[in-house]
Amino acid sequence: MAMQSITINLPDQLYTHLYDRAKQTKRTVEAELVDVVMTVLPATNQLPDDLVQATAHLELLDNESLLRAARSTLARTISRETERLHLKQQRQGLTEIEAQQVSTLVRQYERLMLVRACAAALLKQRGYDVSKLLKHP
């Protein structure tokens, strides 16, 4: 992601609040401010290129392959690491490196969920009863 630099003047009270949050999560004030702004601003309607590429091939798959994609799950190691980092974040905060790891793991999860949803939507378009996807294989 391209980055732009900006200088802003913050009221002392707001800066102190951001500083305290950053200290608690073991992040920089800059990282905390970027996180707050990204949380508040609405997401764009356009998917990032990596997510477009992750779903572009799905229309070419047969129903059985789409079914596997719709039922895919994260590897246990990724799920465990994500959970461990989320618990640590709640207890004592994360280092900058750990926060980046969480961001990467969440991105993997979001990618998987998008692929699953798109695969299910394609199956539904093809006449497949997607309610069966709610049942365990």
* pLDDT on residue 19: 93
Let me know how long the chain is.
137
* pLDDT on residue 52: 86
Ordered by start, the domain boundaries in the chain are 10-40, 47-137
* pLDDT on residue 69: 94
Contacts 24+ apart (CB under 8 A), 126-135: 126/63, 126/66, 128/63, 128/67, 130/70, 133/67, 133/70, 133/71
* pLDDT on residue 85: 93
Mean pLDDT by 10 residues, the chain (137 residues): 84 92 87 83 74 90 94 91 92 91 91 94 92 70
